Structure 1
Amino acid sequence: MLVATFNVNGIRASEKRGFFGWLAHRNPDVVALQEVRATAELVPAFPNHWLTYDEGTLPGRNGVGILTREAPAAVRTWSGTALVRGPGERHTALVETEVVPHARGLHEFALEGRYAEVDLADAPLTVASLYLPKGGLPAHLQKPGRMRDAPDGGRKYERKMRFLNSFARQADRARRAAQAKGRDYLLMGDFNIAPDRWDVRNWRRASQSEGFLPEEREWLASLMGSRRLVDVLRAQLGEVDGPYSWWSWMPGAFDRDTGWRIDLHLATPRLARTATAAYVDREPSADRRLSDHAPVLVDFALS
């Protein structure tokens, strides 16, 4: 079973750049999508996949989806609704879903289109798509004139940390719920955190940047372990530099491979052991990029 996670940075923009050509060529069984950034009426039809999509309520932002071969056996979102379409369908009707019980502190994020999960009908697996807040720097690291954004006193940083503290409980709850039903759990998405030095090209310089702060990496490490979740790509490739999955749009960043790996497959250990390949589907040149992210794919030996 070939499974992908892909932050498309706007499905309509990615479609114009060749998303559907990539989808037809790779032909993955499951795709977790982030930053779809489209209302239901603007989401394109997917000819060979079912779509489950939570667009959220922030116009032009966020939105997470999951593509599957078969109609999902169950759908769960934080909002309690989702767009569920069969292959080729274009309807805009939302359906009620199971509501993922919010861990304390997640209520403020529940309608932002950041998390959705489905139970696959053709495998004992629960798949989740996550778009974690980008965040910002804590107040003591904010230096006017050395930041792309105006200093905010640490407001974005504090908001991200609230999300992290709450989502840790949510992820543990989701993993346990899946396993109670005899299912493995696969959490995929844009975590906006690079796990380790191997995952950032200029990691020393990045150590005081959002997405690579010690407390962010410590939180991500807390999700993982021999009885929790496994970073599948790193388990497959070992401690080597890269591969990266995100590069700035700044000229030369992609060509120099000055990237970060922030798009992850975190799997329950039993599922992770079935992985036979894991890779970043990096485009051959900057002018052929589909997004500022590249798809990350894992092939699992599931019947």
Structure 2
Amino acid sequence: MTAPDRSGTGSFTVASFNVNGIRAARRRGFDEWLATRGPDVVALQELRCPATEVGEFDGYSAAVDVGSVPGRNGVALLTRRPPVAVRTWVSHPPRARGLGEFAAHGRYIEADLADRPLTVASLYLPKGGLPAHLQRPGSMREAPDGGARYERKRRFLDAFTREVNRNRLAAARAGREFLLVGDLNVAHTRHDVTNWRPAQKMDGFLPEHREWFDTVLGSRRLVDVVRQTHGERPGPLTWWSWAGQSFTKDVGWRVDHQLATPGLARLAVDVTVDKEAAPDERLSDHAPLVVTYRELLPQTLT
């Protein structure tokens, strides 16, 4: 089944989806979702397999970086037409000091689209942990590590702020808008977490993580397209634990984002999370985040 052709409709759609293993997601029905939904651009995270096992996607050209850590990470961009250019941190090492340790891990890929003046990046930001002073043995899913995972994520966040600013400006110099999408493993506001008060002492919603998110956003930098379109109200959520009744009771987080340059953000008209109807229909512990934009023309550039 071929995804529907949306050319000439005056709009285009971008989906971000952490598949939590592309092979497992395809067994559960990812290809059927892709054919039915038919996004123009799809950013994937957590492929978690060798490049030879990612496979092909009917109707799409796939740019992939699976990384060097077996069974972990991996990002991809699916586009209707082969991109003009594709950059990973292997082919184009990050310039910001502090990202070198992550360059071969399959966490970032960006492409200059062939059919519109837009650069799209897919990011899988590292999971972290709690700082040492918040770690309590016996109350954590993972063994205490003295804050090592927390510090690792902090290093990434600090460096990535500089890197994404450079990439955004490079796109502007080339006459392109810039769109960063993916699983950022950070929820920004209280509307992005169901139980936000206790979450303030959890990885991904610590005050310093939310402050980092503030530094990425700005009227001259990047705009949280989902929050802008959805408004200052709870949701939409994109991740629910596999455990318990989280999915059924809609107790989750929004850690999947689309951050756009202001010119593109002004064109966003609709946000949808393709949450499955029942737990046994889930493709992943995340659900696809789909944003519809009015068609991007050269005169709409920032």
TM-score (norm 1): 0.93
SS of the residue corresponding to residue 160 of structure 1 reads helix
Name the amino acid aligned to 1:127.
V
SS of the residue corresponding to residue 248 of structure 2 reads coil
Shift of residue 157, structure 1, vs aligned partner: 0.2
Name the amino acid aligned to 1:23.
L
- 2: distance between equivalents of 1:101 and 1:193? 21
- 2: distance between equivalents of 1:121 and 1:56? 25
Identity of aligned residues (%): 59
Is the CA contact 1:133–1:192 (under 8 Å) kept in the aligned structure 2?
yes
Match among 115, 118, 131 for residue 122 of structure 1: 115
Equivalent residue, structure 2, for 1:238: 231
Q: Does 1:269 align with 2:262?
A: yes
Equivalent residue, structure 2, for 1:181: 174
Map 1:244-283 to 2 at 5 A.
244-283=237-276
Is the CA contact 2:87–2:110 (under 8 Å) kept in the aligned structure 1?
yes
- 1: distance between equivalents of 2:223 and 2:279? 31
Is the CA contact 2:17–2:43 (under 8 Å) kept in the aligned structure 1?
yes
Is the CA contact 1:54–1:77 (under 8 Å) kept in the aligned structure 2?
yes
Is the CA contact 1:54–1:64 (under 8 Å) kept in the aligned structure 2?
yes
- 2: distance between equivalents of 1:279 and 1:219? 25
Equivalent residue, structure 2, for 1:69: 80
Q: Does 1:109 align with 2:109?
A: no
Map 1:58-207 to 2 at 5 A.
58-80=69-91, 99-207=92-200
Q: Does 1:21 align with 2:32?
A: yes
Is the CA contact 1:78–1:102 (under 8 Å) kept in the aligned structure 2?
no
Equivalent residue, structure 2, for 1:89: none
- 2: distance between equivalents of 1:34 and 1:237? 23
Is the CA contact 1:193–1:262 (under 8 Å) kept in the aligned structure 2?
yes
Match among 269, 283, 286 for residue 279 of structure 2: 286
Shift of residue 15, structure 1, vs aligned partner: 0.4
SS of the residue corresponding to residue 161 of structure 1 reads helix
Equivalent residue, structure 2, for 1:217: 210
TM-score (norm 2): 0.93
Name the amino acid aligned to 1:278.
V
Shift of residue 243, structure 1, vs aligned partner: 1.2
Seen in structure 2, the aligned counterparts of structure 1 residues 178 and 100 have a Cα distance that, compared at 3 Å, is farther
SS of the residue corresponding to residue 247 of structure 1 reads coil
- 1: distance between equivalents of 2:251 and 2:206? 18
- 2: distance between equivalents of 1:155 and 1:242? 31
- 1: distance between equivalents of 2:153 and 2:131? 10
Map 1:6-45 to 2 at 5 A.
6-45=17-56
Is the CA contact 2:123–2:184 (under 8 Å) kept in the aligned structure 1?
yes
Shift of residue 205, structure 1, vs aligned partner: 0.9
Is the CA contact 2:94–2:103 (under 8 Å) kept in the aligned structure 1?
no
Unaligned 5+ segments in structure 2 are 1-11, 297-302
Q: Could you report, residue by residue, the CA deviation over 1:249-285 in whole angstroms, capped at 9, with x for unpaired residues?
A: 0021100101000000000000000111112111111
Is the CA contact 1:236–1:278 (under 8 Å) kept in the aligned structure 2?
yes
Equivalent residue, structure 2, for 1:95: none
Name the amino acid aligned to 1:44.
G
Equivalent residue, structure 1, for 2:8: none
Q: Could you report, residue by residue, the CA deviation over 1:46-99 in whole angstroms, capped at 9, with x for unpaired residues?
A: 11100000010000000000000001000111011xxxxxxxxxxxxxxxxxx1
Q: What is the total number of aligned residue pairs between the two structures? A: 285
Q: Could you report, residue by residue, the CA deviation over 1:158-180 in whole angstroms, capped at 9, with x for unpaired residues?
A: 00000000000000000000001
SS of the residue corresponding to residue 165 of structure 2 reads helix
- 1: distance between equivalents of 2:36 and 2:188? 30
